[in-house]
Structure 1
Amino acid sequence: MTIHVATKDEVLSTEAALAHCSAPGHGAADLFIGRVRDLNQGRQVRAVSYDLHPVLCNNVFREICKEARQEWGESLHFWLEHRQGRLAVGEASVVIAVSSPHRDESFRACRYLVEQMKHRAPIWKQEHYVDGDSEWVKGHALCSHG
């Protein structure tokens, strides 16, 4: 199968993603790793908790991959996995990989998967701050803040 989607409560593997997105006719593979950062909107972050609906997430992930395939080519390979649970700063929360015969298609399709996942997947994010406070935060396609 050329589309792999999953939600996990264990460390995500970039090696598995790249191995899945390997084909003799593919000269390009793009890899996106979303990591927990230590600062958001001026607040020091200690950890992030992700709550999600696994079945619905996987359905949305698969749908997004199929849309990208229709737009950028039937031969593309896709990998989209998202973590759930509490993650420390630096840990990968999402790994997305796309391969294609040429770089333009894999760049565009990978970006599409990232942005659509942020908008459409039932994933909720709670930030835990160094000061002991925590807050549920809204996901954004593109953040204009630092």
Structure 2
Amino acid sequence: MARTYDHPGEQAGQDPIRLLALRDAPLSVDEVFRAAGDDAAGGTALFVGTVRNHDGGSDVDALGYSSHPTAEAEMRRIAEKIVAEYPVRALAAVHRVGDLRVGDIAVVVAVSCPHRAEAFEACRKLIDDLKHEVPIWKHQKFSNGTEEWVGA
């Protein structure tokens, strides 16, 4: 059965996947937020992941992210799945690769939907699936001189 729309603004416009990228330079929350904006959306949920100063009871000094060549294609596959499962108006996700310090932004994702509950759910699913399924690995360096690979 075809969906009926209460307002012409609800009809699908451009591709809702507006920005997907891996970057080796600092990330912009504003860029991701703008990319996820849509006039037909009543809610935009945004998640910003940062490098924290500890993990597993040890102090973290720095870390590096590396990715497999298929990482961006996997990001797109996940984004397409989110768009198929939720009424997404716009979606954006950018992940950092390279060396980062404590406090640096590692990932920014945003999803806009007609209503806030949908936006929250879709944004949470997006970041959870990106973390679990995209081949990006974290190399943590601890204050005690030890190192650890996460996700490898």
Do both proteins adopt the same fold according to a TM-score greater than 0.5, normalized to the shorter chain?
yes
Report matched runs for 1:103-142 at 5 Å.
103-138=116-151
* Displacement after TM superposition at 1:138 (Å): 3.4
- RMSD of equivalent CA atoms: 1.3
1:117, distance to aligned residue in structure 2 (A): 0.8
CA distance in 1, matches of 2:121, 2:92: 14
Letter in 1 for 2:131: K
Equivalent residue pairs, number = 137
Please give the alpha-carbon distance, in whole angstroms, between the structure 1 residues aligned to 2:116 and 2:147.
Answer: 40
SS at match of 1:111: helix
Unaligned runs of 5+ in 1: 140-146
Q: Which runs of 5+ in 2 are unaligned?
A: 1-14
Identity rate, percent = 36
Structure possessing the higher radius of gyration over alpha carbons: 2
Moved over 6 A (4+): none
Q: What is the alpha-carbon distance in structure 2 between the residues aligned to residue 94 and residue 138 of structure 1? A: 15
Normalized against structure 1, the TM-score is what?
A: 0.89
Structure 2 CA distance, aligned partners of 1:100 and 1:135? 38
- Kept in 1, the 8 Å contact 2:60–2:141? The answer is yes
For the 8 Å contact 1:2–1:20, the answer to whether it is kept is no
Among 69, 73, 78, the alignment partner of 1:64 is: 78
Q: Deviations over 1:49-70 (max 9, x none)?
A: 10102x4111111111111111
Q: TM-score, normalised by structure 2?
A: 0.85
Letter in structure 1 aligned against 2:126: L
